[in-house]
Every structure is written in structure tokens, then in C-alpha cells.
Chain A
Amino acid sequence: MNFDPTYRSQKFRSVGTRPRRPDGIDKVTGRARYGADFNMPGQLVGRILRSPHAHARIVRIDTARAEAVKGVKAIVTASDLPDLTNGNQSLFNILDNCMARSKVLYDGHAVAAVAAIDANAAKQALKLIEVEYEVLPHVVDVDAAMLPDAPLIDKTLFTGGVEPTPETPSNVALRSEFGHGDIESGFAQADIVVERSYRTEQTHQGYIEPHACVASCNSDGTAELWVCTQGHFVFRQTCADLLGLDVSKLRVTSSEIGGGFGGKTHVWVEPVALALSRKAGRPVKLVMSREEVFRASGPTSATSIDVKIGARKDGTITAAAANLRYTNGPYADIWAELGAMTSFACYDLENVKTVGFEVLVNRPKVAAYRAPSAPMAAFAVESTIDELAQELGMDPVEFRIQNAASEGTKSSYGPVYGPIGIGPTLEAAQSHPHVKAPLGPNQGRGMACGFWFNFGGQTCTDLNVNVDGTVTLAVGTVDVGGSRASLSLIAAEELGIAYEDVKAVVADTATLGYNDMTDGSRGTFSSSMATISAARNAIGVMRHRAALQWDIPVEDVTWEDGNAKASGEKYGNLSPLSIKEIAAASGNTGGPIAGHSEMVADGAGVSFATHICDVEVDPETGSTRIVRYTVIQDAGKAVHPAYVEGQYQGGAAQGIGWALNEEYIYGEDGRLQNPGFLDYRIPVCSDLPMIDTQILEIPNPNHPYGVRGVGETSIVPPLAAIANAISNAVGIRMTHIPMSPPRILAALNRERNQ
């Protein structure tokens, strides 16, 4: 396939407009079908029994009494999900997380599952499953888990990334290091050095729709899975691997998705639902409760971070260092490494060093959460940057501009940057009216920058021209943020037809080639590139069909504004053939008209944002109100600007919740104490002001229209921007997220009592 993704400047007719979303009516009228809205004949209800202990050995499971309950059709434990992972540690971790094998590793870890004819029978059976545990010491705190005498999650784990390999096991799975230069020499050149330690608590993505699926295994070895997911092709592969199914025989259909934010890039209950269905011989619906979502799906890390930054009096940063400790849950991953990579990515630094530590704890397995790991690192770094600017007596925006990375800067994670957008977002902030607006009593202003990588991936798209000239676009990236509208605009633009004449659908795994997940801000970036390619292929077919109709060489047919045109004076009497006319004649010119595309969409380009925030803190209660909030971010090209603004606002809203209230709270017994939205408080509309947005459009050179991913970066700056605003409002540096009313009040009282 020859497709040139290079950016070409052009005038747009459809791209950049704001048409109504194609999924809007269904969603507001309740017709949209989410994970739990699908049903099959003979379907059973699935329920999962979960560990009440943070850490325990499973001595015995007896399901006999539960199996005798009337209406129970199947009970599965780990023995029904044999280890087929063939030494693949990350796949084994997924299997062990879906159903505990020898040990439970966190409160909520699955130990058994039931399929019954109704919920009552399933619940009754759960109560009758006897599990004998040998309770083990547990640890949930990231720093406590690193102590030499901490309870060990995995006694076979020896810290990687250090030479020589330690002789004793620990909860630190991996040490990673990034940077360049000589930080000791850099700090020696500094006139002022600021050094602080920070903590952030564990938060959940808080998607409104819990995980839900319907699984149906047939006796002939085929199976179907209807599921709420960010990546049905990846779910197909993982489930097929874990259950020993042929990939071609497992058909996965993605439902509408009520939010994912990274948490639905991973299987939690789906292999269990398939195992139940396989054993029962009937379809099984499995829907997590909100409590289960909190206890047993994948939140982000809790962190403990030390930052040290030095600068000369002229405002030049001479050295920067950070140690980052991230909880991983009970399975090793690379969350601290991502934090270490992103920490100082906004800055041009001569001497920089970051070290990350992956720490195992008895909490749920950590999953990606929108620009995973970057917000916590940015909170620590941007807070320190702000304090340093104050110590230097410099404007915080000006200080950041002076030290911002630009084209040619060696990034803190290694490579040298190409053209990047941190400078333009800072300059836009500097001239934004928000930074000059007056502040009221008890109010403070803060700002912060953020970075995320963005990426593309494997993508496959089909574009079918129907006989009436309308177009059906089948894509394989799940629409989590409005991509069906954006991709319809792209197809309309390329073909020269109206947006209303394009219908985009998310195809199932049996009807389209493999697609990577919708993650890394890649949905619109990747599938738009594939859509452009598919449309151009369809145009090639239509030019050929027009040539047949006219009986002229195809080389003499061009495509303009949705019409085939015969070029050259000798064809002066030929009227253009519209897409509708070509489609109507297709039955006699070669049959159906389609364009296909399969590709790797790479070259997404890194992304930067700058946020400005005003808060008002009630000195009596410690409660914080967001007074004003502005997001400035580069979109490359905003395909559907309203959706881009929505992504900017959504990231800010989630960041505001994370900064002010959201927090996993564990008891001394290692059990989660607030697994519900009453006690785990996410922001509601009345908590938030209208979040202002400013879209910058600096074209991505690696996309034909200049598009960049926009989904994730907007959650990176809010923790720091709000912390800086609160610190400025109360005159005390806030170093612990969330800055909930009790935490702010305690800080105020400590200050008053000094």
C-alpha cells in the first residue's frame, strides 16, 4: 500500500466545522446500547466472588453447596482457567488478576464466579462458596512497601534495572533512570535550589459505565463476546490466548462506551464470562457493580515523589532531579518509568536526572489513566517550578518560557525534539486575558504545563459507496471521544460530499482487519489517516468507473468536489458524473464500489498544554471552588472543534476532581473503605465553572491534514495548576493530592498554630 502521510496545506470544506454528533440522538433518548444493554436467548447471570482480604493464601475452595443451589448452571475457579500463557509473564499476570490462583493479592481479587438463571440464585450461590484463607501481612502504602521489612507481595521478585541484581527479594520491581549532563555540577552553579517531596493518592478513571459483557461459547469451538471496551481486537486476542480459542472463532463486538480513559484497555471480567459460558453451555452476562469497579478494576498509581530544581538568578535552570515511586498494584509494570520520562519533558535542561521505582502493593492492578503517570509527575515538577519562580521573583509564565524546550532541545527522556508546541502554548497563556484578570479575596491563581507522548498504531478501515451515493465507513477503533463524527467529516472532505451522506460505524472483529486499541490519543489521528487512504482508494475506483461510462482512458478522469470530471478540451461536452450517478451505475460497471485501507499510522508527534486556574479557598472549611479555568493546547488541526474543546474540558474536569477530592482510602485491614461515588467524590456540573479553551493549530507534519491526538494531554497540568493556585491563595505550599477540605484545613491550622 502506497500512502503518503505527509502534511499538505489545503483549504477545508468539512473539516473544522461543528456538525451534530451521529450518536447524539441515541444517547440522549436512551436507545444507545452499552455493555449491559445486550441480551441473548437463554442468557445466564454471572456474578463474581471476591476476596475480603488484602493478602492471603487460598488454602481451599469448596463449591459443592453452591452448585446445589437451584438455578446455578456453572461455577468457575482458577482451575477452570488453566495456565496457557507459556511463560509470558504479562499474560500470566492478566490471568491471575482475572481469577486468583494460589494467593489473593488485594481486597476485591476474584476467587470464583457463578452463572445462574437469575441474580438471586447467583447471589445465593456466592454466599455458599466456601473459601479458606490463610491471611498474610499486607502493605498498601508506596513508601512503606519499599522498606526492608515490608510484607513481600512476591517472594520471587528481585529488583530489575540495578547492577548487580539484589540478593534479597523486595517489592520494588524495577528501577529506571533517564537524563543527561551532570546534576551535581548543575546544582553547584545554582543560586537558588528548591527541594520538595510530594504525594498523590490513588484515583480511579471514574467512567460512568461499569465494565459489562455478554459471552457466548458454542459447542463447536466458536464464541461471541459483546463488550464495553476501548479495543475489541485486543480483547479478542487476550481472551483467545487465555482460553485457548482460535482467534478467528472468537467474534468480539464493542458496545457504545460510557467512558474508558484507559481503564477499558484491559480485560477484567471478560475471560471469566467466557469461561462461565463455556462451562454452562449458555450465554452469560457479567456486569460489574460500582463497588467492584473500584475494588477490582485498574485505577492509577498512588505516588511519592521528590523533586529538586536549581536556577541562577537570571532565571536559567541549571539542574533538575526527581525520584518517583509509583504503586503498581500486585503486578509489575512501567508506571514510574512513564513518570520519569515525562517529568521534565517541557524544559530545556543541561543537567537532568529522573529515577523511577515500580512498587508492588496490595491494591488493585494499576491500569492506564489518560496520559498515564504524567499528571502526578507534572504536579511535583510544576509545583517546584512555581516555587522556584517565586523565590527568583519571576513571573511563572515568563520563567517557564525562558526554560521551555523547543526544536533541537535534548529531551529529558533522551531524544532531541523536532518542532514542538510548548512555546506557543506558553506564549498564548502570557497574552491570554485570564492572566491579567483581577482576583478577589481568598482567591489565588496558578498555572502549569503538561506533556504527553501520543501515538498511532495498527489501523484498518473500509469505506463502502452505496448505490444511492451515500457512504458507509467501517472503522476498527472504538469511538470513545467522538471519532465517528470526526471520521465522517474526514471522509466527506476527501470525497467532496456532505457530512450527512457519511455514516461511520465501529465494525466487529470478524468484519475488519486488526486494529490496535483506542489509546494514546490515537483514535482520530490513526483512523483519519486510514480513512483518507480508503477514500482515495475509492476515488480511484470511481474514476475508473466513470472512464468506463464515458469510454475514455482513466488517466483523463479527475476527481473534484464529489464529481468525476473528464479533463481536456476534447471532452468538453461531457457533464461531470457525481458520486450518486457513478454509484447508481455501479452494477453494470464492475459491481460494488469500495475503498480499503490497512496501515500503521505512526508519527503522532508529542503534545503539550498550558493551563491557567483561579481558585477560591474558604479559610473556615478548607473547601476550594474553581473560579475560572483555561486550557490552551495544540490540536494540529481540529477536525471537529467542539469535540476537541470537549476533550480539553473533560481532561481539566477529571484533573480538578483528582486535585481536590478523589482518593482511594484504605483501612488498617487493607480493605478499600470508599468504593462508591458517595464516598469517592468526582466533580459534578455544579462544582465546575465553564472551562475556557484555546485551540492552537500547529500542523503535524506526519498527517495529511496536520491532525494530532488531543485526548490525553489535558489531564496532565490540572493537578499542578490547581495546587499552585491554592498555594498562592492560602500562602502555604500544598504538597499532597487530593487537596481535600480536611487536608487544606489541617495545613491552615498548622500555619495558624505556629
Chain B
Amino acid sequence: MVDVKLWAGLVPLADNQQTVTVEAGTVRELLRQLGDRYPGLREPIKNEVAVVMDGTIYRNDWSVELPENAEVFLIRRLAGG
């Protein structure tokens, strides 16, 4: 089980939950479950989110495995210069 914390912009799309618990082994499974449970999240998950796992930001690699007790945070996909 993983506790996924959502950035404030996603909270209204997830029945106002700031933290959602899912059973997932990879980032892909995690995002799929979030989308299944809260359809409003499907659109931002497509291209607006990045996943922070134990402090490291992942923008594309949804195959990354979620370590036991990992801290997982969904943040806005960032722009850079």
C-alpha cells in the first residue's frame, strides 16, 4: 500500500482527498488506479503531473518501481528554461 499525496490543484478532482492510499508496485499502476478511482484525475494525469518519489522527481518514467514505504507526491509537471 502506498500513500499518494496530491498537490492542491488535484485535490478537488479527488473528492477533496489530499492523500489517497493505493495498492501499486509501479508509478504506472499507481496512476492507473488513481484515474480509475477518480475519473476527474485522468486528464491531468495525461500530461500535467510529475511523480516525486522519496524526493526524486520523475516526469516520464512510469515504469519506476515504488519501494516499500516510499513517500510519493504528485506535483505539477514543470517547465524549464
Contact = CB atoms under 8 A, between A and B. Distances in A.
Interface residues of B, number: 24
Given A161-B9, A600-B60, A368 B73 contact: no
B79 A519 contact: yes
Contacts of B56: 418, 603, 605, 702
Contacts of A263: 81
B65 interface: no
A417 interface: yes
Given A161-B9, A414-B7, A453 B57 contact: yes
A338 interface: yes
Interface string A662-681: 00000000000000000000
Contact of B80 (A522, A600, A702): A522
B75 interface: yes
A382 interface: no
Interface stretch (A220-228, A369-377, A385-393, A722-730): A369-377
State the majority secondary structure of interface residues on A. Answer: loop
Contacts of A457: 59-60
A370 B5 contact: no
Chain A: interface size category: 35 or more
A411 to B, nearest CB: 8
Contacts of B20: none
Contacts of B75: 341, 413-415
A178 interface: yes
Interface in A306-331: none
A161 B9 CA distance: 6
Interface string B1-35: 00001011100100000000000000000000000
Contacts of B52: 414-415
A300 to B, nearest CB: 9
Contact of A368 (B7, B54, B79): B79
A415 B81 contact: no
Interface of B: 5, 7-9, 12, 50, 52, 54-61, 64, 71, 73, 75-76, 78-81
Contact of B71 (A372, A416, A520, A711): A416
Interface in A701-747: 702, 711-712
Contacts of B64: 602
Nearest to A177: B8
9 contacts: A161-B9, A261-B81, A262-B81, A368-B81, A372-B79, A415-B71, A520-B78, A602-B59, A603-B56
B38 to A, nearest CB: 17
A265 B81 contact: yes
Nearest to A411: B55
Interface string A363-405: 0000011111000000000000000000000000000000000
Contacts of A604: 57
A521 interface: yes
Nearest to B71: A416
Contacts of A205: 81
Contacts of B55: 407, 411, 415-418, 420, 606
A106 interface: no
Nearest to B52: A415
A91 to B, nearest CB: 12
A337 interface: yes
A711 to B, nearest CB: 8
Contacts of A265: 79-81
Contacts of A261: 81
B79 A334 contact: yes
Contacts of B54: 416, 418
Contacts of A418: 54-56
Contact of B78 (A176, A262, A455, A702): A455
Given A455-B57, A458-B60, 17 more contacts: A161-B8, A163-B12, A177-B8, A260-B81, A262-B79, A369-B81, A411-B55, A453-B57, A453-B78, A453-B80, A457-B60, A519-B79, A519-B80, A520-B81, A521-B80, A603-B57, A603-B58
A260 B81 CA distance: 8
A415 B3 CA distance: 12
Contacts of B81: 205, 260-263, 265, 368-372, 519-520, 711-712
A456 interface: yes
B76 A334 contact: yes
A263 B79 CA distance: 12
Interface string A338-368: 1001000000000000000000000000001
